[in-house]
Structure 1
Amino acid sequence: MRHNAIKPDEAMTAAVRRVAAVAAAHAADVDREARFPAEAVQALREEGLLGALVPHHLGGGGATMTEATGHCQILARACASTAMIYAMHHSQLACIVMHALDAPWHRAFAQRIAEEGLLLASITSEVGVGGDMRSSICAVEVSGDRFTLEKQAPTVSYGDHADVFLVTARVNCDAPASDQVLVVVPRAQATYEATGGWDALGMRGTGTVGFTFRSGGAAEQIIPAPFADIAAEAMVPASHLLWSGVWTGIAVEALTRARQFLRAQARRQPGVAQPGAARLMHAAGLLDAMQARIRLLLAQFDATHALGSDRPVMTEAESGWPQGMARAGVLNMLKRDVSEQCHEVVLEALRICGMAGYKNGTDFSIGRHLRDILSAQLMINNDRIAATTGTMLLAQRADLGTL
């Protein structure tokens, strides 16, 4: 199915807002039934937004990471599950756009993603590696121009509804665990059995379950670049930036409801100082600081990476985009801080609204937002991130906290 052509900037934002309206109409049911947000994802497909990061010359939207992150924030205000699916999809699409478009098979497949609105899912987790994306037990077996692959994955989000899977594995059976490749597998080439179900506290529409996954196909489906480079340059930065858009979107919506509550109270009690106003100031300050931090990193990323377009770019030194270990540290700290501070913003919104926010079905209900934002600290557990990043900071020679 071909989608409507999309344009950058205002037209693309307008398309996202149309999708957000669809997502909002079904968000309560998606949450209540823990079901895939089919209506919103179909709207994303019809608006051409699943190809937002694909370059124009391949039929996509040619979006920047700043634009894609903004899309996540708009969608999250309506339905966090829809926004997270959009973010996860684009974190995978960024890997193809940044590391595979020079290969004929992947260039043609990127065009298919844009034209057909294919939904991408990630299979990077594996039973036995303890949540370490940069380690694999399974391996790709290549014979001639064909490959086979089998993987036990404990967490695959929206896998039952994905059109394409991006799967990590060792480059061959003799390779060490960290010598990995990323394989693009269309659904038609995959067989899988889901293990377990998904009845979670929040993000209930993402449908994260385990998979026993098997596939085979053409060896050219293996992205030529080492997964170590793909992860460091594309997957991790895109994930943390796009997730930040989702989480701040949840926080923005919760705080907007809290401000509306205070305005309603003020109209009923003119001239009376509202006690929740101080909490509103505190939460708004947290949100502003997070947004400024995210905007800076997005500007640096987009100044450095053309994402497959013909935009002129700078070197990392010129743009300020951090390199090597420093980049990993900056992104890890962003993820940890935004996930925790957005939780605090949502809690402040709930405190402001009181019982009107605690109850479901009111104009000021915050319960779904609070449950959804709790997932942020568990997606790559913050304790693991803090321990890893603290060790990296010990090894760095740069001064800490300087302007």
Structure 2
Amino acid sequence: MNAPLDRGADVVTTAARHADDVDRNGRFPIEAVRALKDARLLSLLIPVEFGGGGASLFDVAEICTSLGQRCASTAMIFAMHQIKVSSLVAHGRGSAWHEDFMRRLCDEQLLLGSATTEGGIGGNMRNSICAFERDGATFRIAKEGALISYGAYSDAILVTARRAADAPPSDQQMAVLEKSQYRLERTGGWDALGMRGTCSEGFTFSGEAPVEQIFTHDFAEIASESMLATAHLLWSAVWFGVASDALSRAQSFVRKDARRHPNGPAPGALRLAEATAKLQLMRSNIVEGLKRFAKAQQNEDDLNSMSFAVAMNNIKIGSSQLSIEIINHALLIAGIAGYKNDTPFSVGRHMRDALSAQVMISNDRIFTNLSNMLLAQRIDQRLGE
């Protein structure tokens, strides 16, 4: 086991201890997040030169999976934070302010949130109504109807807006605002089916900061080169963790049942085998995606290619669908023992958390985008690269 996973072991234990209470009360997993900070895992992706761990995305994905097996809300918060860190690393170099902020993030273990959605645009983060209003060396922003996961608990928030008041909705930039530089006015709660500890409440976001805190790269570039691929891969790693734990519970149920049926296959054994095949497919999908992303990061043309975008989108869709199928198999295997919340075989929380997968960047929206891409993109019929 490598060093990041060693440091994550205590965090996983802490997350597991409080997972039921976090879910039951829809509260922020403060104990697990504090453990993440104590283990210095929030700076895992930041290069060593800035004081970070210099870890690979694969290391981060492994921790997402381990946390997902115990508390999906903690895992998703960790994943969302690292998605913003990945954009900071990929697009903050060369900016004195952003490089200094990376050092501060490492020193203080700052938790990053994201305000990329907005009321009135139907969840499409690639369009904005609000704009950065520049006044000399400072800018102001006011964003209404933003759904900000763990916004009330973030130490800084990365926010998107139009470049200027006269810019089209798709001409966006992104800026980092520290907690002292913005105000949040809560406009909606988070009494959700699953992922209850993410506290993804609605806010009106307003703030003012120096212009140097705006990334020089267009948000379209940030989204395509770091954010979307990292999101699809790390979210998938979380869902894999949730699904694998559900199947592990089902396996324990089958083993227990097998002791009562020594002369033949235990009921549920066949369905367990089928679900295991689906889990292997899900794992292979994610691992191949991580390798594909690592390779594309060495080639800017590949990173911005349509084939890469199609591959990453398909990973998200496949993982979101397979996780639900696997957990449903686990439920059918364990039966009423899986349906109840007070048994060792319960998968109720797993199913509720996994159902979020299809609506976090809606699969329907992704399918629409894919259908347009595939009009111009040839379907790859090769087995090899």
Task: Calculate the TM-score normalised by the size of structure 1.
Answer: 0.92
**TM alignment of 1:200-279, pairs within 5 A:** 200-279=192-271
In the alignment, structure 1 residue 95 sits paired with structure 2 residue 76 = no
- Which 5+ residue runs of structure 1 have no aligned equivalent? 1-8, 306-313
Partner SS, residue 333 of structure 2:
helix
Partner of 1:6: none
CA contact (8 A) 1:136 1:178 kept: yes
In the alignment, structure 1 residue 149 sits paired with structure 2 residue 133 = no
CA contact (8 A) 2:236 2:316 kept: yes
Residue by residue over 1:265-301, the C-alpha shift from the partner in whole angstroms, topping out at 9 and shown as x without a partner, is 1123323311211111111111111211211121222
- Separation (CA, whole Å) in 2 of partners of 1:354 and 1:115: 48
- Separation (CA, whole Å) in 1 of partners of 2:303 and 2:175: 27
CA contact (8 A) 2:289 2:315 kept: no
Counterpart among 320, 324, 330 of residue 305 in structure 2? 324
Partner of 2:106: 114
Partner SS, residue 360 of structure 1:
coil
Partner SS, residue 395 of structure 1:
coil
Partner of 1:402: 382
Partner of 1:361: 342
- Separation (CA, whole Å) in 2 of partners of 1:20 and 1:300: 28
- Separation (CA, whole Å) in 2 of partners of 1:399 and 1:269: 48
CA contact (8 A) 2:116 2:146 kept: no
Distance 1:316 1:300, change over 3 A: farther
- Separation (CA, whole Å) in 2 of partners of 1:74 and 1:402: 33
Equivalent AA in structure 1 for residue 374 of structure 2: L
Partner of 1:315: 299
- Separation (CA, whole Å) in 2 of partners of 1:164 and 1:102: 20
**Bigger shift: residues 50-59 or 268-277:** 268-277
- Separation (CA, whole Å) in 2 of partners of 1:284 and 1:374: 20
**Bigger shift: residues 332-341 or 226-235:** 332-341
Residue by residue over 1:331-374, the C-alpha shift from the partner in whole angstroms, topping out at 9 and shown as x without a partner, is 11111111011100000011111111111121111000010000
Equivalent AA in structure 2 for residue 191 of structure 1: R
Partner of 1:58: 50
Equivalent AA in structure 2 for residue 366 of structure 1: V
- Separation (CA, whole Å) in 1 of partners of 2:95 and 2:151: 26
In the alignment, structure 1 residue 75 sits paired with structure 2 residue 67 = yes
Partner of 2:319: 338
- Separation (CA, whole Å) in 2 of partners of 1:52 and 1:322: 23
CA contact (8 A) 1:124 1:153 kept: no
1:323 Cα offset (Å):
4.0
Partner of 2:19: 27
Equivalent AA in structure 1 for residue 230 of structure 2: A
- Separation (CA, whole Å) in 2 of partners of 1:193 and 1:361: 38
Counterpart among 144, 167, 171 of residue 175 in structure 1? 167
Partner SS, residue 202 of structure 2:
strand
Partner of 1:159: 151
In the alignment, structure 1 residue 190 sits paired with structure 2 residue 182 = yes
Partner SS, residue 127 of structure 2:
coil
CA contact (8 A) 1:170 1:178 kept: yes
1:325 Cα offset (Å):
1.9
- Separation (CA, whole Å) in 2 of partners of 1:165 and 1:323: 26
Partner SS, residue 130 of structure 2:
coil
Counterpart among 9, 15, 18 of residue 17 in structure 1? 9
- Separation (CA, whole Å) in 1 of partners of 2:381 and 2:282: 17
Root-mean-square deviation over aligned CA pairs: 1.3
Distance 1:112 1:83, change over 3 A: same
Equivalent AA in structure 2 for residue 364 of structure 1: F
- Separation (CA, whole Å) in 2 of partners of 1:235 and 1:315: 17
Task: Calculate the TM-score normalised by the size of structure 2.
Answer: 0.97
1:322 Cα offset (Å):
5.7
Partner SS, residue 55 of structure 2:
coil
- Which 5+ residue runs of structure 2 have no aligned equivalent? none
- Separation (CA, whole Å) in 1 of partners of 2:314 and 2:186: 33
1:232 Cα offset (Å):
0.3
Partner of 2:358: 377
Equivalent AA in structure 1 for residue 290 of structure 2: L
- Separation (CA, whole Å) in 2 of partners of 1:315 and 1:140: 32
1:316 Cα offset (Å):
6.0
Partner of 1:37: 29
Percentage identity across aligned positions?
46
Residue by residue over 1:32-84, the C-alpha shift from the partner in whole angstroms, topping out at 9 and shown as x without a partner, is 00000000000000000011111112111111111111110000001000000
1:130 Cα offset (Å):
1.3
- Separation (CA, whole Å) in 2 of partners of 1:68 and 1:265: 36
Partner of 1:286: 278
Equivalent AA in structure 2 for residue 19 of structure 1: V
Partner of 1:387: 368
Partner SS, residue 49 of structure 1:
coil
Counterpart among 42, 46, 53 of residue 38 in structure 2? 46
CA contact (8 A) 2:296 2:303 kept: no
Residue by residue over 1:217-263, the C-alpha shift from the partner in whole angstroms, topping out at 9 and shown as x without a partner, is 11100011111100000110110000010000000000011111111
Partner of 1:309: none
CA contact (8 A) 2:163 2:171 kept: yes
How many equivalent pairs are there? 383
Partner of 1:308: none
In the alignment, structure 1 residue 347 sits paired with structure 2 residue 328 = yes
Partner SS, residue 149 of structure 1:
strand
